[in-house]
Amino acid sequence: MVDRALSNQQISGLLLLCFENERPLQGMIAHLDWRLDGHFSRLMKSQLITGARGEAVYAPILWNERTLHFLIIGGGMRNESLPRVEASRTLLLEALQKWDELKIPDMALSRTDWEIEDEQTEVKERKLCIVN
């Protein structure tokens, strides 16, 4: 679905989540890494992306003569003992604030990566595209 949305120019970018202790990459960033020939893996190998808590990396890529915009947010160390929904909500609020600063329209994010609920106000207000 995200591949189609990018190809059909329904979205111009994605808000991605990355953790320090997840190697190989997991979730939407892993899927896109595969589709984009290891773009995000190369950024990790060069340590431009670490997944550290609070990290925000803007990583555009030229693909099929079009710029795709990616904002990668570091989630820190994933801790399965903490309530994931609360941690994801805090990260999402911080990520949305950073995305607002970039002023890039037609953004999407992954429901499963960010633990998004259907009635989440912050997401509805911005008219974000939700994938998977």
Is the C-alpha dihedral spanning 112, 92, 78, 40 positive or negative? positive
Global confidence as pTM: 0.87
Task: Summarize pLDDT for 1-15 with one digit per residue, the tens.
Answer: 787 888 888 899 999
> Which pLDDT score, from 0 to 100, does residue 43 have?
95
Please check the confidence at residue 70 and state whether its pLDDT lies above 90. yes
Task: Summarize pLDDT for 82-101 with one digit per residue, the tens.
Answer: 545 556 788 888 999 998 89
Evaluate whether 12 touches 104 at the Cβ level (below 8 Å).
yes
Domain boundaries, the chain: 2-131
E strands, 37-82, are 56-58, 61-63, 66-74
Task: Summarize pLDDT for 20-56 with one digit per residue, the tens.
Answer: 988 889 899 999 999 999 999 999 999 999 999 989 9
The topology under which CATH files domain 2-131 is Leucine Aminopeptidase, subunit E; domain 1 (3.40.220)
